[in-house]
Every structure is written in structure tokens, then in C-alpha cells.
Amino acid sequence: MSVLVISTDKLPTKLIELFASQVPGVEFRLWPDIGDPQAIEYALAWKPPPGELAKLPKLKAILSFAAGVDHLASDTALPRHIPVVRAVSEASRLTMSGFCISQVLRYHHRLALYESFQRQGIWKQVPPRDMTETRVAVLGMGVLGADLAARLQALGFAVNGWARSFRAFDGVTMFSGADGLLPCLASSNVVVCLLPLTPQTHGILDAKAFAAMPKDGYVVNVARGGHVVVPDLIAALDSGHLEGATLDVFEPEPLPADSALWRHPKIVVTPHTSGRMTNQRVALNIVAMLREVLSGQPLNNVVDWAKGY
């Protein structure tokens, strides 16, 4: 039985060697050297070239290297009846939550202001924020959002959650559906976007959304660049309505050198690093996912193409 590792990004050959050593009895093939397509039963995919997965007649499941599957959704030839399993793990939840919490705390402790004071040699205390008065909205209460919401609460923050369908989460004030978005934002000082990118969520953080937030609010986008309408965000920051934003994801990536985002004084830019783990950790997570899929147990974290994520 063979697993095809397929990506338009160059993957380290060491990775394939590690898979082979950890999952014995399986032949790993690295695209484009696919050999006999009839022998390939599983594909490990990251941004595969459109149409390539449709050429594998015996494919039983596709394993996505990432939690987001927009890199697969854009392949119109992708056979939709083949299950797609998303890569999520305890380590990826912790990594993403940790990054988001760092930005919430940066806002909460007014670190941007104190960093600017330091650059000017100014010793000045401004009124602190009370933990319970900082309410954080988590947009997308899925595998990652739910983890973040729980960890924020453990730190003492009040948390709003927004999802497509209503589900209760301990201690979280939940909002759902398109009608729930603006009411959710209206009471949220910090908004963290952890949504999948779908036609429904594209451009969801726009002028209307920013206007709904309280004055001096803060936006953290770690999901996909397409969620934010950049000119609307810049207008909300320049008008003084929003205090700042942390953007980790962009459309396109890498962020072009002439983008105004690089130099905006109220924006923190990070290069799609919020969910990054060491190669070793990524490889071990993939190995665990492969073992689970190959064991024949019911699949977890399977994409529902009817919902689009």
C-alpha cells in the first residue's frame, strides 16, 4: 500500500524518511514521482496541484497537512466523496492558543504604548485594564477556537464565542449564525478570528464589523488573510476607532513589500507564524494522524464539504 505525499511547496526529503521509519509496511512516494497510481490509497496533501488527486483511482482518504482546507477546497476536480482528514493535535491547539493569548495580553497590558514610551525614554503609568473588563470574542468555536476560549477564561478573561450553529461552552457567552455576529462584536474589546475561509466568511471583518466593536478595540487575525477587508481595517485604525491589530495571515502571502500593512504604526505583522511548530513536531503529529487513519478506526476531524470546512 502506498501513500502519496503531494505538495507544490518543496518538502524536505528527511520528512519522507521519517514517515517511512515511523510507519513501517507503507511505501511513501513523493509527488511528482507517483509510480503506479493504482497502488496509492492515501494522500498526504499540502496545496496539491489542482486536478492531481483526481487522478488516483484507489484513493481512500486525503490527509491535510494543515487544519485549514482552503488549499484543497479550491481544487474543483477534487473528488468530494473521498474523506479529507484535517491535521489537528494537542500541540497545534496549544501553539495557536499561545500565540493568540500573547496578543490578547499585549492589548490588555497596553504593551504597544509602553514600548513607544520606552523608545522615547518616558516613565509614565497609564490606568491598567481590569481582567474582567476585557472581553474577548473568539470567532469560530471549532477545534482551535474552543481551546482558546477555555484558556482565556482560565486567565480570567470574559469570553464571547461565535459559530455557525449554536453549541454551549462552559462560561462562554455564545452567539451563532449571521445574525449573531454584530451582537457578539458589540461587547468584545478584542476579536480573534479563528474561522475557516469559506464563501460565507470571506471578508467578514469589514467596516460594519469594526464599527460594531467598542471604541479602542483590538483585532487579531490568525485564520486566513481573506477574512479581513484591509482598507476597512486601516480606515478603522486611522479614524481612532480601533486601537490596533495583529495580522498573521494575508492575501496574498508573502505580504507584498509595498503593502501599507508593513509600516502601519497600529498593526503588528507576523509572517503566518501563529500556528508554526518545529518540523519534528509537525512530522510526529502527521505520523500519529497516519497511524490513526491506517488503523481502520472511525476517522476524526473529517471535512464536511456541504459546510465547506
Question: Which residues form the catalytic set?
Answer: 224, 272
Q: Which stretch binds ligand NDP (CB under 6 A): 33-41, 134-142, 205-213, 262-270?
A: 134-142
Pick the binder of ligand NDP from 63, 84, 190, 195 (CB under 6 A).
195
Compute CA distances 118 → 109, 111, 112, 127, 160, whole Å: 14, 10, 10, 17, 33
Does 289 bind ligand NDP (CB under 6 A)? Our answer is: no
Give yes or no for residue 275 binding ligand NDP (CB under 6 A). Answer: yes
Among 18, 137, 194, 237, the residue binding ligand NDP under the rule CB under 6 A is 194
- Using the contact rule CB under 6 A, the part of the chain among 41-49, 101-109, 220-228, 254-262 near ligand NDP is 220-228
Give the shortest CB-209-to-ligand NDP separation in angstroms. 12
Beta-ladder partners of 217: 242
Residue 228 sits in the site that holds ligand NDP (CB under 6 A): no
Place of cell 473588563: 133
Does 64 sit near ligand NDP (CB under 6 A)? no
Residue number, 195 or 229, with CB nearest to ligand NDP: 195
- Taking only Cα atoms into account, the Rg of the chain, rounded to an integer number of angstroms, comes to 21
Site string (138-177) toward ligand NDP, x via CB under 6 A = --xxxxxx----------------xxxx------------
Three-class DSSP category at 3:
strand
Q: Give 135's Cβ-side CA count (13 Å radius).
A: 17
Member of 272, 277, 288, 294 binding ligand NDP (CB under 6 A): 272
Cell of 247: 495580522
**Secondary structure string (H, E, C) spanning 38-93:** HHEEEEEEECCCCCCHHHCCCCCEEEECCCCCHHHHCCCCCCCCCCEECCCCHHHH
Task: Tell which one of 5, 56, 68, 101 touches ligand NDP (CB under 6 A).
Answer: 68
Residues whose CB falls within 8 Å of the CB of residue 156, separated by 6 or more in sequence, listed in order:
131, 132
Q: Which is nearer to ligand NDP, 189 or 221 (CB)?
A: 221
How far apart CA 3 and CA 36 sit, in angstroms, is 12
C-alpha angle 252-289-15 in degrees, rounded to nearest 5 = 65
- Binding residues for ligand NDP, rule: CB under 6 A, are 67-68, 88, 96, 140-145, 162-165, 194-198, 200-201, 222-224, 248-249, 272, 274-275, 309
